[in-house]
Amino acid sequence: MRERVARAAARAGRRPEEVTLVGVAKRQPAAAVAEAVCAGLEAVGENYAQEAAAKLPEVAARLAALGRAAPRWHFVGRLQRNKARRVAELFDVVETVDSPELGAELDRRAAAAGRRLAVLFQVDLSGEPSKGGIAPEALSALIEASAGWAALEPQGLMALPAAAHDPEASRPAFARLRELLLRAPAPPRGPRLRELSMGMSADFEVAIEEGATIVRVGTALFGERA
């Protein structure tokens, strides 16, 4: 996997260290996650708060027994406001903030837990309501709304392109997200957005060629889900 990341980065004239590999562990057992972390995986993604609440403590216990540090946990699923408290308690990065209201609730819950979270703004580039995301034309207003968030640190953009059999079919969406990042205003309370989370098992190499700094890889890393 690291070799594939490195080759894709080289094709784009980039360094592989510029790309964070997030191993998406949805429906993967804690033992497999701990094994991946011991093999060098530094970031793990989960889609569901309830599954994560059961799995994260077991992963932490397995790693502690081996004298290994915990990974950085990314929440990469669609987030409902009623799950914000649990997510704020469990995760280090939330990649799917897509409304001012969700951001405000997550900020309130993170502050109550004494935590500071990195967040990405999810942009809808597929037109599929089930995937979530804010319309591109509303992105600037969402970034402006982050002025009221004290416990969240906006860092970049995330997108889920429409599913396609050919990885090249996702390239236009990846290029569009990169352009949105370049044109996005700086958050009122912090530096300019710099992270681009895009690309999954089927198309992460194309995403890296288009500028991804985070790729979310599940099946290609862990194998088929249980």
Share of residues in the chain with pLDDT > 90 (%)? 91
Identify any residues that bridge with 196 across adjacent strands, giving them in sequence order.
157
Give pLDDT tens digits for 192-218.
Answer: 999 999 999 999 999 999 999 999 999
Domains present along the chain, CATH in parentheses: 2-220 (3.20.20.10)
Give pLDDT tens digits for 55-100.
Answer: 999 999 999 999 999 999 999 999 999 999 999 999 999 999 999 9
Give the pLDDT confidence score for residue 90 in this predicted structure: 97
Give yes or no for residue 129 having a pLDDT over 90.
no
Q: In the predicted model, what is the mean pLDDT of the chain?
A: 95
Residue 148, H or E segment? none
């932490």: which residue's tokens? 60
Which amino acid is present at 106?
L
> Region 15-25: what's the mean pLDDT?
97
Give the pLDDT confidence score for residue 120 in this predicted structure: 98
Rg value, the chain, Cα: 17
Give the pLDDT confidence score for residue 226 in this predicted structure: 65
Asked if residues 200 and 159 have their Cβ atoms less than 8 Å apart, the reply is no
> Region 171-188: what's the mean pLDDT?
97
Give yes or no for residue 5 having a pLDDT over 80.
yes
Q: Can you tell me the distance from the alpha carbon of 190 to that of 116, in angstroms, rounded to the nearest whole number?
A: 13
Of the candidate ranges 22-36, 51-65, 107-121, 123-137, the one whose mean pLDDT is the lowest: 123-137
Q: Can you tell me the distance from the alpha carbon of 67 to that of 180, in angstroms, rounded to the nearest whole number?
A: 42
Give the pLDDT confidence score for residue 43 in this predicted structure: 98
Cα three-residue angle 43-47-50, rounded to 5 degrees: 110
Give the pLDDT confidence score for residue 164 in this predicted structure: 84
